[in-house]
Each structure stands twice: as C-alpha cells, then as structure tokens.
Amino acid sequence: MLEDTDYRDLQQVRDSEHLHLLGTFNFIFAGLCLFGLLPAIPMFAVMRAGGFDRVFEQIRHQMEQPGNAVPVSPEEIVAFFHVLLVAWIIVLTVSAVLCLVNGLNLRAHRHRGFSTVIAALQCLAIPFGTILGVFSLIVLERASVAELYHMAEETSDPFATHARNESGGSIDR
C-alpha cells in the first residue's frame, strides 16, 4: 500500500504533467489566434486600396433612384468595417500574447491567479477555448496544484530564501 508521502509525490508529478500539457495547449491556442489574423491582412489592404469602389458606386446609384433612399452613406460603411477589422486584429493579438504568457506561467508554476483569469476568458472562445479553459480551471482549482504553485513560489522568491537563511527556519506566509 502507498504511504501518504508516496501518494503526494505521485500527485505532484501528475499535476506537473497536467500543467505542462495545459501550457503546450496554450501555445497551440496562441498560434490559432495568430492564424486568425491571416485573413485580416489582405482585407485591410483591399479596404485601404479602394477595393470596394465599384460597390460604392452601385450604392450611390441606388441612392439616386427615387424612393430608394439608403440611410447610411458608403463612407460610413467603410468606417464601420475599418473599426471592426481593427478590433478583430487587436482582440486576436492580445489573445495570442495572453495565451503565450499563460503557457509560460503554467509550465513554470507561477501566477496561478493570472492563469485562472485567462482560463475563464478562454471559455468565451467557442469551441477550442472553452475546452481549454474548462480543463485549465479544473486543474488549477485542485488543492494539490495550489500546493505545487506555493512550493514553486517559495523556491523562486529570493526574499523568502534570504529571510529563511537569516532566521534559520522557514517563513510562514
């Protein structure tokens, strides 16, 4: 039969593997976010080069017909799509950076609160983000994972190590 320390060691190994996998999946999700930016580049170039001029001429022609008033001008339509495209680019870029940082933090067992917030936000990105976010939340809420994060923070905190060496004992946080 396994002793309590053996079970704890096995659980720490399992938790560390789960965090490593979640970090890898966050890297993949960041790549998917960057991949989502690819259509934005040609769209932005076409919009800036006046690729919709023929469409706008047709809209103007329709507006000139009696009884066919269009409530929005073509310039307002272009402005709306510019704003939408820029928002798309910003959201995907920020998502990619946050997922990349989250993947690094998960692998290093740092900033559990940040990882929890990012996991909750990933749940909004249906379907892959939801799957990744839910599994991340399940793993991050385990008591054994919290202990693993606490141990990693203790060993990486230079002030805690310095204070422990001076006092000759451990520090209670």
Where residue 2 falls among pLDDT bands split at 50, 70, 90? low
Where residue 16 falls among pLDDT bands split at 50, 70, 90? very high
CA distance 10 to 146: 15
Where residue 172 falls among pLDDT bands split at 50, 70, 90? very low
Lowest model confidence (mean pLDDT) among 10-24, 41-55, 79-93, 158-172: 158-172
The DSSP line for 100-151 is: HHHHHHHHHT--HHHHHHHHHHHTTSTTHHHHHHHHHHHHHT-HHHHHHHHH
Q: Which domain range does residue 18 map to?
A: 4-36+82-165
Where residue 157 falls among pLDDT bands split at 50, 70, 90? low
pLDDT at 173: 38
In a domain, 13, yes or no: yes
In a domain, 170, yes or no: no
CA–chain centroid gap for 130, Å, is 11
Tokens matching residue 146: 């919290």
Mean pLDDT over 42-50 rounds to 80
Residues in the chain: 173
CA distance 98 to 118: 7
Q: Which tens digit of pLDDT belongs to each residue from 123-137?
A: 999 999 999 999 999
pLDDT at 76: 80
In a domain, 102, yes or no: yes
Tokens matching residue 104: 């690094």
In a domain, 125, yes or no: yes
Q: Are 25 and 118 in contact (CB under 8 A)?
A: no
Where residue 70 falls among pLDDT bands split at 50, 70, 90? low
| DSSP-based three-state secondary structure for 34 | helix
In a domain, 45, yes or no: no
Quote the number of domains for the chain. 1
pLDDT at 160: 52
Lowest model confidence (mean pLDDT) among 49-58, 94-103, 132-141: 49-58
In a domain, 66, yes or no: no
Give the position of tokens 């928002």: 87
In a domain, 14, yes or no: yes
In a domain, 87, yes or no: yes
